[in-house]
Structure 1
Amino acid sequence: MSTKVQDLIFGGFPLLRYEPTEMRVRVRDGELLVADTVRAMLVWEPRRIVPSYAVPVADLRAGLTASSLPSIPAPDRILDPGTPFAAHSCPGEAVDLVVGRTRFAGAGFRPEDTELASYLVLDFRAFEEWYGEDDRLFAHPRDPYHRVDVRPSSRTVRIEADGVLLAESNHPVLVFETSLPTRYYVPLDDVVAELTPSERTSECAYKGRASYFSTAGYRDLAWTYPAPLDGATPLAGLVAFLDDKLDVFIDGEPRRALSAPAAGLFNDRFGLKHDA
């Protein structure tokens, strides 16, 4: 009897999970070196989509004290990258890190787990700079089981909003990302809609920093990666649309209905709450 791989992956989401890595991981905040290790682990708390780095306490350049922040109960849903680090979903102890005169409140967590007893999980957003070997890391640690495939295509992609053409291209670039809908990136010259730069930006661990555009009646509807990371360089200068609620036609045919996002599938499967 066959099994869908996605089902196997989701089956482990309610568990505390970890994966060792041989990558050298360094954590800095300005001139302060917080950690430098070749014994890091990737750790996923229960229901977390993306991992955090855990480092051996012996490889920290910081003192540890009980957390000065109040605890935050983890929401009864999938914990996406927007969920605060302090919303822990397993038993453990939150701690502050002290480096010199600088205190990083609640930036560490010790899960109650024998395999992780000598490790401290770190809040990626609490520190200014993370490096994997000598490469700067963005947004969050990369998941070794998450793929982002960027592929040029000769298919014709047409994107409409309520019958109004936004963009049409016969040389798009398609992004196939684990557990996410396919995204269609098109050259700016193939965009018909008038785009106005917005103030919103976001970071992706795999693609880099995105800038957003709005158009008449739609705020932050499109985005671009001006300087994408290695592995996503073909996206430079191209534009993608948040097309989940738009009409997308591939070679003249309506795109198949989008499958539920990973978060929705997981929440439905385990009876957890999720937004519409």
Structure 2
Amino acid sequence: MGLSWQQGPLSAGAIGRFLTPQALPERLLFAERPRRRMRVKFNGTWIADSENVVLLHEPGRYPVAYFPREDVDAHALVAGGRTTHHKDLGDTTWYTVKNGERTTERAAWEFTALPRHAAELQGRIAFAWRAMDAFYEEDERILGHAADPYHRIDIRNTTRTLEVRLGDGVIACSERPVVLYESGFAPRWYVPRTDIDETRLHPVEGQTFCPYKGLCDYYDIDGAHRAAWSYRSAYAEVGRIDGMVSFEPDQVEVLLDGKRLELEPGQKVIAHGVDRGLDVDEVTK
């Protein structure tokens, strides 16, 4: 997703390439000021508030926000006596975060032996996403991970025919699907429910969360496990797919204008890290 995750240009699984005469380093890190005000809440109060955040894009990870020390409550950081080593950015000092009666160990970190080429991160603090109450941009809470400014979603109407089959049965047939193009993913095709035999969709337990689309429900289709999914309360920015259903081409037969779709690189979501560890109640507040 975005610049460095899934199949972005800085990820290990990038589907494109930089047109340079010499090979680029195996790992490229990218740091920039997103020019957004970010805030961190812990134990009910703000412990960081800055318009001078640096966002670090590291291959295989979601972007991480680094706050200048002067924009962090100095009383909130307690040296934890633990140091680890980052293979690109050197020694990492870990802090316990404390506010009032609440204390969480290894909840913040700082690079303390940075190479010269990474000076943008000097004197900056990052906070573990799950350890904090919440992260905000201005007065709006950001869920899941720091917003990636290179992550984009485009939804397009089409009159192409999309048919979904399993065995001899037709699950869906539509001449008005929509296609969702999302950074780092192969195209996804969504079908209106009125064009689906919903008696074949069997809801299953367990939802996933996308910071850009919302909560996702899943369905079994006969013996095909989690063969379809739907965002029943999609975020306003992607409201055009609200309630529509998409199908896994490796679980059922999905045909677009008669041509069967195959499972493309980037079609599967890669689970990643603890920063997706949100429960449903927290997401739906």
Q: Normalising by structure 2, report the TM-score.
A: 0.73
Distance apart, 1:182 and its partner CA = 0.8
Q: What is the correspondence of 1:210-249 to structure 2 with a 5 Å cutoff?
A: 210-249=216-255
Q: CA deviation at 1:261?
A: 2.6
3-state SS of 2:28 partner: coil
Q: Please state how far the C-alpha of 1:244 moved relative to its aligned partner.
A: 4.2
Please say if 1:115 is aligned against 2:115. no
**Correspondence 1:198 to 2:229:** no
Query: What is aligned with 1:60?
Result: 72
Distance between the aligned counterparts of 1:39 and 1:165, measured in 2? 54
Query: Structure 2 CA distance, aligned partners of 1:253 and 1:6?
Result: 25
Cα deviation digits, residues 134-172 of structure 1 (max 9, x gap): 322121122222221112222111123455433222111
C-alpha displacement of 1:247: 2.6
Q: CA deviation at 1:37?
A: 1.4
Aligned to 2:275: none
Distance 1:5 1:214, change over 3 A: closer
User: Does the aligned pair in 2 maintain the 1:141–1:205 contact within 8 Å?
Assistant: no
Structure 1: stretches of 5+ with no match in the other structure: 75-87, 265-276
Q: 1:214 to 1:5 in 2, by over 3 A?
A: closer
- Contact preservation (8 Å) 2:145, 2:211: yes
Which of 111, 135, 150 lines up with 2:155 in the alignment?
150
Shifted more, 4-13 versus 186-195: the winner is: 4-13
Alignment of 1:162-201 (within 5 A): 162=167, 164-192=169-197, 194-201=200-207
Q: Which residue of 1 aligns with 2:50?
A: 37
Match 1:7 to one of 11, 17, 27: 17
CA distance in 1, matches of 2:96, 2:157: 46
Aligned residue type for 1:52: V
Give the aligned length: 246
- Per the TM alignment, residue 174 of structure 1 is displaced from its structure 2 partner at its CA by 1.0
Distance in 1 between residues matched to 2:267 and 2:229, nearest whole Å? 21
Tell which structure's C-alpha radius of gyration is larger: 2
Q: Could you tell me whether the CA contact under 8 Å between 2:207 and 2:215 is conserved in 1?
A: yes
What whole-Å deviation, never above 9, does each CA across 1:92-141 have from its counterpart, x for those lacking one? 22322222222233222223433211211222232232222232212112
- Residue matched to 1:85: none
Identity percentage over the alignment?
Answer: 26
SS of equivalent residue, structure 1 residue 199: strand
Q: Quote the Cα distance in structure 2 between the aligned partners of 1:221 and 1:103.
A: 43
CA contact (8 A) 2:31 2:54 kept: yes
The whole-number CA distance in structure 2 between the counterparts of 1:54 and 1:202 is 27
What residue in structure 2 maps to residue 84 of structure 1? none
Normalised by the length of structure 1, the TM-score is 0.75
